[in-house]
Structure 1
Amino acid sequence: MSAVATPVVSPAPRDRASARRGASLANDVIEALTTVKDPELDEPITELGFVRSVALHPSGVTVHLRLPTSFCAPNFAYLMVSDAQDALRRVPGAARVTVLLDDHHDSDKINAGIAADAGYLGTFGAEAAESLDALRLTFQRKAHTAAMERCVMAALTSGAARLEDLGSLTLGDLAGGPTKEALLRRRADIGLGLAPGDLVVVDEHGDAVPDEELPLRLRLATSVRISIEGNAHFCRGLLATRYANGDSDAITTDITDTRSTS
């Protein structure tokens, strides 16, 4: 999903510095939003098309988010809005940050809670069945499992590892590249070791998997990875149907800058 900025028409010499500052802030805002992930799909909300618009204005930054359906899980929705607000508040020059969720059955409740910094429990009260920390950890562990499976399959396919040796496969044995980097990030998220000698195939606590359990562990990991990727594909289709008449290439992010350039 690409972000499309509003064209700027040949600014006067005095305005060029302001235009550059505006473009820099817009880039910083988008970069911050790329760190926010859908907890279930393990992909940035920018790539999923969930960022509807970014507005730079005299008092700060306003971002509107959207989801594939109006009935997406409220806890997931709150988590993404909250994470987006936290990420944007760390952007130098962002000033006042406002993040709003559009077209969701709990938009009013979530937006009011985020604006008041009420937290998840303060926003949903008795409806908050579990803490966000527990929810986040559950999906971080699933993301790690999927990343681990991708690395193992890459090692097997390339011949760098044999099935019977997977129990002793270490991070140092893995080829460098995006697949390994993704695994390292997800291990860091859940507090697992990153040393070259650390085992690749471990459970959610970082403990080694007994050799006799490795085949089952890998089958389960494959099912987790397929589920995550399938859900991501499904959500992209729903979003495109909802907002772009089924054309996923038409899902863009509107970026505007209404600050004075004088």
Structure 2
Amino acid sequence: MNTSTESSPSGRRTDRGLADQVYAALDTVRDPELDESIVSLKFVSSVAVSAEDRSGNAVAEVHLRLPTYFCAPNFAFLMVADAYDATMAVPGVSGASVVLDDHFASSAINGGVAAQAGFQGTFEGEAENELDELRANFLRKAVLAGQDRVARPLLSQGWTPQRLADATLGQLPDSPDVRRLRHRRRLLGLPAGDQDALLVEADGTPVSLAGLPLHLRRARTTRVGMEANGEYCRGLLADRYNLAEGRR
């Protein structure tokens, strides 16, 4: 793994093994709108973990970057907060500094996450509530898009609409897309067991045969939109930071 683990921006010695573990943990953090890992999107610019001192302390230092200076602060806050939680969950890491660089709200977001103040506490007087419902809305879109990723190949393989409408998750060949769909459904509290329907509405109700065409059109439109936005963000980030092909 070609991680940036030689040294932190502050010059501290780095524990390469722990830095790699932190980097792997960050791969589980997603851009909420795009439902893609912040690692695959190249939003992680550096990861370093100070070598343990005599007290056994190891502090991680993570730097994040976004495609534009004015990316939505609520999305940015979620990614920084989730990156902090993922980093702190790595065994052996006793402290973390997660820093969002080059963003108009960097100072507020970095300080709010470090203080565990929540979104409302970070943007006191501006934010009306926390971001749980926003996160849930994007997860619903991710579940809908995920159904298209799984269902379209099955139709291409000759599955009939009736078979697709009757399909359960346990009847599907295992694949990354199926596992991803199950995981997103569990996060929303939707049924995700082997006996549960593959195609479901936002509330978990199975999609009927009559409703199948409209549901699949909505799922495809959602998936295509998310993937197009992802490519657009990648292009903006590459242009902003002059990232060569294949370079993180």
Query: 1:15 matched to which residue of 2?
Result: none
TM superposition shift of 1:129: 4.2
* Structure 2 contact 4–48 (Cα < 8 Å) conserved: no
* Structure 1 contact 167–214 (Cα < 8 Å) conserved: yes
1:34/1:144 CA distance change after superposition, 3 Å: same
Give the Cα separation in 1 of the matches to 2:139 and 2:235.
Answer: 24
Residue deviations 1:74-110 (CA, integer Å, cap 9, x gap): 0000000000111111112212211111000111111
* Structure 2 contact 73–105 (Cα < 8 Å) conserved: yes
Give the Cα separation in 1 of the matches to 2:73 and 2:165.
Answer: 39
Query: 1:132 matched to which residue of 2?
Result: 131
Give the Cα separation in 1 of the matches to 2:225 and 2:103.
Answer: 24
Which letter does structure 2 place at the counterpart of 1:33? L
Which letter does structure 2 place at the counterpart of 1:201? L
TM superposition shift of 1:6: 5.3
Q: Unpaired runs of 5+ in structure 2?
A: 8-12, 52-57
Query: 1:240 matched to which residue of 2?
Result: 238
Query: 1:51 matched to which residue of 2?
Result: 44
Residue deviations 1:188-209 (CA, integer Å, cap 9, x gap): 1111222222111111111022
Give the Cα separation in 2 of the matches to 1:234 and 1:28.
Answer: 29
Instruction: Number of aligned residue pairs: give it.
Output: 237
Query: 2:87 matched to which residue of 1?
Result: 88
TM superposition shift of 1:5: 3.9
TM-score (normalised: structure 1): 0.85
Q: Which moved more, 1:51-60 or 1:206-215?
A: 51-60
Residue deviations 1:117-157 (CA, integer Å, cap 9, x gap): 11111001232244311011001111111111111112111
Give the Cα separation in 2 of the matches to 1:136 and 1:84.
Answer: 15
TM-score (normalised: structure 2): 0.89
Give the Cα separation in 1 of the matches to 2:180 and 2:47.
Answer: 27
Partner-residue secondary structure (3-state), 1:63: strand
Query: 2:211 matched to which residue of 1?
Result: 213
Give the Cα separation in 1 of the matches to 2:62 and 2:161.
Answer: 47
Query: 1:31 matched to which residue of 2?
Result: 24
Give the Cα separation in 1 of the matches to 2:196 and 2:25.
Answer: 31
Q: Unpaired runs of 5+ in structure 1?
A: 9-18, 253-262
* Structure 1 contact 236–248 (Cα < 8 Å) conserved: no
Give the Cα separation in 2 of the matches to 1:147 and 1:43.
Answer: 12
1:157/1:130 CA distance change after superposition, 3 Å: farther
1:126/1:25 CA distance change after superposition, 3 Å: same
Residue deviations 1:150-184 (CA, integer Å, cap 9, x gap): 1111211122x212332211112212111211111
Give the Cα separation in 1 of the matches to 2:239 and 2:165.
Answer: 44
Aligned-pair RMSD on alpha carbons? 2.0
1:94/1:181 CA distance change after superposition, 3 Å: same
Residue identity (%): 45
TM superposition shift of 1:243: 0.4
* Structure 1 contact 237–248 (Cα < 8 Å) conserved: no
Give the Cα separation in 2 of the matches to 1:106 and 1:67.
Answer: 12
* Structure 1 contact 155–174 (Cα < 8 Å) conserved: no
1:6/1:173 CA distance change after superposition, 3 Å: closer
Query: 2:140 matched to which residue of 1?
Result: 141
1:248/1:72 CA distance change after superposition, 3 Å: farther
* Structure 2 contact 3–20 (Cα < 8 Å) conserved: no
Give the Cα separation in 1 of the matches to 2:214 and 2:129.
Answer: 29
Which letter does structure 2 place at the counterpart of 1:102? D
Give the Cα separation in 2 of the matches to 1:165 and 1:191.
Answer: 25
